[in-house]
Amino acid sequence: MRLRNKPWAREYIEAHPQYIVANPENYKGKWHEVFTNQQPLHIEVGTGKGRFITEMAKAHPEINYMGIEIYDSVIVAALDRLIEADLPNLRLLNVDASDLNKYFEKNDVDRVYLNFSDPWPKTRHEKRRLTYKDYLKLYENILVNKGEIHFKTDNQGLFEYSLKSFSEYGLLLTFLSLDLHKSEYEGNIMTEYEQKFSEMGNRIYRCEVKYQN
């Protein structure tokens, strides 16, 4: 993600606590208070400019969604989308995914989406990959039993690494496509990165995995 510094971003975020949740640690274990219903919660970790999560929330009003993005200069683009769409079932969190356990507890989340996560190709950066085993543990600790991770990327190296990481962790592979846009998979919602990389001719890899307990 190319980052342009936006000195106004913090103030803009703080002016919209109804969309980017302020003090999210207060809602650990009680996110239904924010959404004022008991619908399942699906989160996207590394939501970027928010196209995927906004379109998902429009398409599935029966699900609550949350887009999680670490950089304030990036999340403001997702905020603009949400202000325009004004969806009751979508909120954003401006936090680092490595702190997810500060904001969620076991059973808070029903599904995790990882879309075009930063590949961190150098071995010494393996721990930063959002499919590294420590992250898989973090997701397990906030998901319901048999919770799911849905992952897509155009990066073959990250995809292969992630399949191995999922398998070593004991996750069950329930869907696999090595060329999503040429597959029969229906209902795909493109992310910003997906649009850009598929227009460049890159193949999109996608899988779904499930915790066994």
Q: Residue 159 interacts with ligand SAM (CB under 6 A)?
A: no
Q: How many residues bind ligand SAM (CB under 6 A)?
A: 20
Scanning 29-37, 76-84, 95-103, 177-185 for contacts with ligand SAM by CB under 6 A, the matching segment is 95-103
Chain centre to alpha carbon of residue 110: 12
| Contact with ligand SAM (CB under 6 A) among 14, 25, 33, 96 | 96
| Least distance to ligand SAM, CB of residue 212, Å | 25
First-to-last alpha carbon distance for the chain, in angstroms, is 34
Query: Which two three-digit tokens encode residue 59?
Result: 């398409």
| Contact with ligand SAM (CB under 6 A) among 27, 31, 116, 166 | 116
| Contact with ligand SAM (CB under 6 A) among 77, 192, 205, 206 | 192
Catalytic, 118? Answer: yes
Strands 109-115 and 41-45: parallel
| Contact with ligand SAM (CB under 6 A) among 180, 191, 205, 209 | 191
Distance CA 5, CA 54 (A): 24
Query: What is the number of other CB atoms lying within 10 angstroms of the CB of residue 157?
Result: 11
Torsion over CA of 76, 81, 83 and 87, rounded to 10 degrees? -130
User: Which residue, 33 or 179, has its beta carbon nearer to ligand SAM?
Assistant: 179
Among 80, 99, 110, 118, the active-site one is 118
Query: Which two three-digit tokens encode residue 116?
Result: 């075009």
Q: Residue 55 interacts with ligand SAM (CB under 6 A)?
A: no
Cα separation values, 149 from 25, 42, 171, 193, Å: 23, 10, 9, 19
Catalytic residues: 118
The residues of the shown chain that bind ligand SAM, judged by CB under 6 A, are 1, 46-48, 68-71, 74, 96-98, 115-118, 191-194
